Amino acid sequence: MPCRFDKEIGMEGRSNGLIEKGRGGEQRRAVLYQLLLVAVVSLLAWVLVRNTLDNLHARHIATGFDFLGREASFGISEHLIDYAPTDSYFRAFLVGLLNTIAVALLGIALATPLGVVVGVARLSANRLVSGCAGFYVELVRSLPLLLQLFFWYQLITESLPGPRQAIDLFHLLFISNRGLKLPAPLGTADLTGMLLIVTLAVIASVLLAVWARRRREETGRPFPTFFAVTLLILGLPLLGYGVCGLRLSFEIPVLQGFNFSGGATVTPEFAALLMGLVIYTAAFIAEIVRAGIVAVPPGQIEAALSLGLSRFLTLRLVLLPQSLRVIVPPLTSQYLNLTKNSTLAVAIGYPDLVSVANTAINQTGQAVEGVVIIMLVYLLVSLALSAAMNRYNQHITLPGRGR
C-alpha cells in the first residue's frame, strides 16, 4: 500500500513532466513563428528585388557592379591618395571612403577630450564655469547640425580675409578664406622612416602605460608614466634624426598671385565639417560624462578627499575610472552618430563617400548599386567601431557586474 510520501513524489513528478512538456511546446511554437517570419521576409525581399530588376530592364538601365572598372571622368578636390579623372570609379569610391574615415577619426579624437572637459566643467563649483558649460551644451544641442555646418562654412569663407591679407603665423601658417596653409614634408623615404619610428614610439608608450597600471594594481607602487611616455614619443624621433640620419625637409607655402602655392592645405570644406561635427558631438559627450560622474556614489568622493587626494586626483583616479562603465555604452552611440553625420558633408561640398557616390550615380544611372555600396560601407564601419568599443567596454567591466 503506497504511503502518502510516495503519492506526493508521484504527483510532483507528473507536475514536472507537464511543465517540461509545456516548455517543449512553447519552444516548438517559437521556432515555427521564427521560420514563418523568415519566410515572409524572404518573400518580400524577393518581390522587391524582382520588381526592381524588372523596372530597370524595362528602362534599359544596366545592372551590376561592372561600372566600377570604368573611367570615372570627374575630379575630386581632396584626396588622401593619388587620384585623377582617368582613374576608375572604384578608386573614386575609395578616395571618398578615405575622406570619410579621416574626418570621422579626427572628429572622434577631438570631440572626446572636448566633451570630457565640458562635462567636468558642468559639475564645477564655480557658477561661471558651470554656467558657460551648460549654455554651450544647451545651445549646441538645440540647433540642427546642418545649420551649424552652414554657419561654420560661411564664417570661414566670408569672415576670414583673402590670401593677400591672410593671417600670418610665424611665416609658416597662413589662414585665409581659402583655408589653412601649412608646411608639407618632402621626401618619401625619410618621411616613411620617421612615421615608422613615431608609430613604434606610440605602440611602446601604450604598452608601457598598460604595464605601469598593472604594476600599480599589484604592488601599489606608482610609476612616472607621463614622464616616460613623453620621453619615448620625443626621444625616439630625435634618436632616428641623430643616429639613423633621417632628415625631414618641409615645403613652406608662398603667396603667388591671388593664392598660395606649395605646402599643404586644409580646405574650408574640411575645416567647417570637422568643426561642426566636433562641437556638435562634444555637447552630447559632455552630458554623457556628466551623467557618468554623477552615477558614482558620493561616498567615493568623500573617501578620496579624506585620504588627502586633491580634487584633480580624485577626478582622475576615482571618479573617471568608475564612471567609464556608465559612459562607454552611450559614448559608442555618439561615435556612430558622428560617423553617420559626416554624410552631411555633401551640403558644403566636402567630397566624402556620399558625395562621390552621388556623382557616380548621376553619370552612370546605377542608383541601386551606388546606394548599396554606401549602405554596406557604413554598415561595416559602424560594426567595426561598435566591436572595438564593445571590446573596450568588456575590458573595463568588473567581473560579476554588467554581464
| Domain CATH for 398 | 1.10.3720.10
Dump pLDDT digits (tens) for 109-126. Answer: 999 999 999 999 998 888
Residue 18 has pLDDT above 70, yes or no: no
Residue pLDDT, tens place only, 74-84: 989 888 888 99
Which residue's C-alpha cell is 588627502? 308
Which span out of 191-205, 224-238, 289-303 was modeled with the highest average pLDDT?
289-303
CA–CA gap between residue 361 and residue 343 (Å, rounded):
16
| Residue 278, domain member (yes or no) | yes
Please check whether residues 395 and 289 belong to one and the same domain.
yes
Q: What is the largest CA-CA distance in the chain?
A: 115
Residue 179, domain member (yes or no): no
User: What whole-number percentage of the chain has pLDDT above 70?
Assistant: 85
DSSP H helices in 174-310: 188-219, 225-242, 268-294, 298-306
Measured between alpha carbons, how far is residue 305 from residues 312, 313, 318, 322, 338 in Å? 10, 9, 10, 16, 37
Query: Domain span at residue 278?
Result: 70-127+269-403
The full length of the chain comes to 403
Domain-embedded: residue 211: no
Domain count, the chain: 2
In a domain, 153, yes or no: no
Q: Which residues pair with 88 in a beta bridge?
A: 71
Q: Which of 78, 81, 62 is nearest to 70 (CA)?
A: 62
**Do residues 382 and 332 both lie within one domain?**
yes
Pick the range with the lowest mean pLDDT from 71-75, 236-240, 285-289: 236-240
| Helical segments of 320-366, H only | 320-341, 353-364
Does any domain span residue 88? yes
pTM for this entry: 0.79
SS3 label, residue 174: strand
Residue 40 lies in a domain: yes
Q: E strand or H helix at 182, and its extent?
A: strand 179-182
More confident position, 187 or 255: 255
- Name residue 287's amino acid: E
325 vs 133, more confident: 133
Q: What is the C-alpha to C-alpha distance for residues 324 and 401, in angstroms, rounded to an integer? A: 14
Is 65 part of any domain? Answer: no
Q: Are 280 and 196 in contact (CB under 8 A)?
A: no
Q: 22 with 99, same domain?
A: no
Q: How many CB atoms lie within 10 A of CB 117?
A: 15
Residues 24 and 107 in one domain: no
Contact 327, 295 (CB under 8 A): no
| Greater pLDDT, 123 or 198 | 123
CA quadruple 168, 172, 175, 176: dihedral, nearest 10? 80
Partners of 176 in the β-ladder: 179
Same domain, 112 and 13: no
Helix (H) or strand (E) holding 259, with range, is: strand 259-261
pLDDT band per the 50, 70, 90 thresholds, residue 226: confident
- Alpha-carbon distance 306 to 147, whole Å? 48
Residues 50 and 83 in one domain: no
**Residue where a domain terminates, one of 60, 88, 104:** 60
Q: Is pLDDT at 338 greater than 90 in this prediction?
A: yes
Q: Both 402 and 303 in a single domain?
A: yes
- pLDDT at position 209 over 90: no
Whose CA is closest to 363, among 92, 101, 108, 96? 92
- CB of 140 closer than 8 Å to CB of 279: yes
Q: How many CB atoms lie within 10 A of CB 268?
A: 24
